[in-house]
Amino acid sequence: MNSTYKAILADAILMARRAGEVQLQFFRSNELEIATKQNDFDVVTAADKASEKIIVESINNLYPDHSILTEESGFSSHGNNEWEWVIDPLDGTTNYSSGVPWFNVSIGVKHQGKAVVGVVYAARLGELFCATLGGGASLNGSPIAPSGTPLLSKAVVATGFPYDKATNPDNNLDNFMRIMPIVRGLRRLGSAALDICYVASGFLDAYWEMNLNEWDVCAAMLIAHEAGAYAERFRPDRNWSVLACNPHLKSQLLELLSTSSQ
């Protein structure tokens, strides 16, 4: 493992654990202060903001010249754009705000535009997924790998729907209707980062979703790649629209997924 990546990974893990502790303090409490952003489907809580503050302050202290992209505050350049931290301080906010324990902290680090460190920490579930470029991927310290499921008829897959689903007809329902009847099971779990990590670990066979943001998937896609899963964008026109799956299912799913709004 690259020694620089290893050192950054150790710091990112500590940041994620500290943010996770804050999330557990707010979880199912009366101090959550739930608000909305773009519409009623796009939720933010006091825990999102508190988690982001912890992570950003730690980065500024340890790596003051690194750039930062976060869900709540956007992009800030601190002089060294070769290094960029890509952070979702609380992925799965709708779950979190409803008391559903499927949420996490996601911290990705890019060097010269390429993801080199990824940490996804689900505090309530006690699951820490990690990866470094060329260093493999792990769950709670043990190596992970995707499933070997060869056919969609034997696969359990997950998906999600974009926040503009009520106003934009290009909302994933066409993909859902094509794939749902031919798989063993289809789940909608509500956290892109955890869905991708579960593909990387072989708990899910595949996952796709449209119109995500880079902070949703940066860390998890590196974890999937390092585990040996396929994880790529499957269309260019709906922000980060990604497919993650075991390699056996790649061609089967790409044939079914719409690659544009036409």
Each residue's pLDDT tens digit in the chain (262 positions)?
799 999 999 999 999 999 999 999 989 987 766 554 444 333 457 888 899 999 999 999 999 999 999 987 889 887 778 999 999 999 999 999 899 999 999 999 999 999 999 999 999 999 999 999 999 999 999 999 999 999 999 999 999 998 888 899 899 999 999 999 999 999 999 999 999 999 999 999 999 999 999 999 999 999 999 999 999 999 989 999 999 999 999 999 999 998 766 5
Q: How far apart are CA 111 and CA 91, in angstroms?
A: 23
Q: Which of 258, 232, 229 is nearest to 243 (CA)?
A: 232
Report the 10 Å Cβ neighbour count for 55.
Answer: 22
**Any idea what the Cα angle at residue 154 is, between residues 148 and 156, rounded to 5°?**
85
Domain assignment of residue 22, given as a range? 3-143
Calpha distance 83→242 (Å, rounded): 23
pLDDT at 159: 98
Residue carrying the six token digits 């061609």: 251
pLDDT at res. 37: 45
pLDDT at 29: 82
Domain boundary among 143, 163, 190: 143
d(C-alpha 155, C-alpha 185), whole Å: 7
CATH of the domain at 67: 3.30.540.10
Do residues 196 and 66 share a domain?
no
Looking at residue 39, its pLDDT comes to 45
pLDDT of residue 40: 38
Q: Are residues 114 and 17 in the same domain?
A: yes
Amino acid at 214: E
23 and 92 in a common domain: yes
Task: Give pTM, 2 decimals.
Answer: 0.94
The domain tally of the chain equals 2
